[in-house]
Structure 1
């Protein structure tokens, strides 16, 4: 895709509120780091109270995935998770509006050498991210460390879309962006030895996936990880960004390649990928995005675990001209 371009249509009055919110977001991102953590926790506590649908989704996900915990333990985890979600809003501002130097001071990186060695050899890398609340900040930190391409879904609000792409691409000057449906473009990039960011741990339906266990429950799991690695002749390299509890910043850990993927069996690969992700979630369960409907696609005859949760109404997309 071509680089994001500013257009005069983005200044139309209907977008003024969006621009104002971005100005405020920019200003908040300039505050001291610990202040932002404190503000984020407060936002998360407000979300817990005033976003009942999201709360219900998270509660049911946690009940399904952690049956061994008591009700009190799951409630404590729920509160910490929403605080983490609020902090994620602050971290998105950090990623989009703070300098690379400011960000580097707050992260300790492990295992990057093996990834850099793969790139030096001209090997394609499917960089496997996971939907932790540090996702946006983690992508920025990785983009500052290696040449990184990304997969992208446009936002309905054209101003938000423009700012999102500018924010994400500012730390990856040599990176390319591919529409999520541009499978051929991603495969060509991998075959050329590029590193492509990819996150397989959401429910995208069963048409392009299989049911594989996730915390012991059947979850619709995309098989794209196997296919991208096989056809793109790429290594699957996971990484994870963890927010330190003491407010001291972050740990970015790059793991060794998943050498068993692809195995030639997409079902087996989906199980292996889910097992790896589950193990990482157990290391920091409060930082995972439990507000997503990870189990919305169910096997035939299985009950809907989100019964009663109101679905978002689909809005028509406005196109700026």
Structure 2
């Protein structure tokens, strides 16, 4: 069996004193602005986020094109005008997600529990009773940072993160997550992931992005063959952990959040990588369909094609 833990995590420096050089001052200025904006009421945060998303929709044509292609591929049944409307709403939603970064990093999550409802927490509690840990199988929904933090108010949890390329932003993000999560694991630290599962932890985990050709199968996502990692099956094989589907969305009628946990996957892994990846993609697809505008359509999910000679979508 392939060793899923062979790559070491990168070394992080979360000491703010390491970032006093003037070259970090523009980043500090942006962080300070995020801190100030995070003090605003939630309704105003959403309004500003929508405006940020509208600017991005108009000023970042490359990302708009990617979202247009993804939505055209995934929702061919929609007329072109409805597809374009969904693209625009997705930018608005992700703009709100940018504002929520400040809330997740600089506010006490308890401030938002009165407007948050968690559905299906009993599935997590039952899975943890098995003693082998739980993968909370999530996706890249635009409320990821804030809702992930809110989960820690209801159950102790760890998170896997892809470190930011900007070392100072990464220090702020990691420090914030370490205040709420038990552990913030590097996305490459699969050895650490397996260790925490052996300690019976709940760990946020997502596999819904295109990581290239290594360790993948092509499984359908919205009916389109998508490069899908097989590491999820390997992790469950090695640990015996439960896999609990997990999603989170903003409410449409008033500021607030709904967090969903579903019954653990059964018969997983099956011994068939393609069948397992298809199951994982179907779980995420079903959740995306609840609120498709709240998904990260700006990522090139179908970048890697089954044949190298096949023309790309983007």
TM over 0.5: yes
Distance 1:121 1:212 in 2: 30
Cα shift at 1:223: 0.9
Counterpart among 205, 215, 225 of residue 198 in structure 1: 205
Which residue number in structure 1 is paired with residue 219 of structure 2? 212
Cα shift at 1:170: 1.8
Q: Is 1:297 aligned to residue 304 of structure 2?
A: yes
Cα shift at 1:4: 5.9
Does the C-alpha gap of structure 1 residues 144 and 3 become closer, same or farther in structure 2, counting only changes over 3 Å? farther
Which residue number in structure 1 is paired with residue 288 of structure 2? 281
What is the SS of the residue equivalent to 2:152? helix
What is the SS of the residue equivalent to 1:262? coil
Which residue number in structure 1 is paired with residue 272 of structure 2? 265
Distance 2:42 2:154 in 1: 21
Q: Following superposition of structure 1 onto structure 2, how do residues 6-21 of structure 1 map, counting pairs within 5 Å? A: 6-21=15-30
Given that 1:153 and 1:179 are in contact with CA atoms closer than 8 Å, whether structure 2 keeps it comes out as: yes
TM (norm. structure 2) is: 0.93
Q: Following superposition of structure 1 onto structure 2, how do residues 30-45 of structure 1 map, counting pairs within 5 Å? A: 30-45=39-54
Cα shift at 1:280: 1.1
Does the C-alpha gap of structure 1 residues 113 and 206 become closer, same or farther in structure 2, counting only changes over 3 Å? same
What is the SS of the residue equivalent to 2:104? helix
Does the C-alpha gap of structure 1 residues 268 and 298 become closer, same or farther in structure 2, counting only changes over 3 Å? same
Which residue number in structure 2 is paired with residue 184 of structure 1? 191
User: Aligned Cα RMSD in Å?
Assistant: 1.6
Q: Which moved more, 1:52-61 or 1:90-99?
A: 90-99
C-alpha distance after superposition, 1:266-291 (max 9, x if no partner): 11000111111111111111111000
The unaligned stretches of length 5 or more in structure 1 are: 307-321
Q: Is 1:59 aligned to residue 49 of structure 2?
A: no
What is the SS of the residue equivalent to 2:57? helix
Given that 1:4 and 1:166 are in contact with CA atoms closer than 8 Å, whether structure 2 keeps it comes out as: no
What is the SS of the residue equivalent to 1:126? strand
Given that 1:126 and 1:228 are in contact with CA atoms closer than 8 Å, whether structure 2 keeps it comes out as: no
What is the SS of the residue equivalent to 1:144? coil
Which residue number in structure 1 is paired with residue 253 of structure 2? 246
Given that 1:4 and 1:165 are in contact with CA atoms closer than 8 Å, whether structure 2 keeps it comes out as: no
Cα shift at 1:143: 2.3
Counterpart among 104, 123, 132 of residue 132 in structure 2: 123
What is the SS of the residue equivalent to 2:153? helix
The unaligned stretches of length 5 or more in structure 2 are: 1-8
Cα shift at 1:7: 4.5
Counterpart among 214, 233, 237 of residue 230 in structure 1: 237
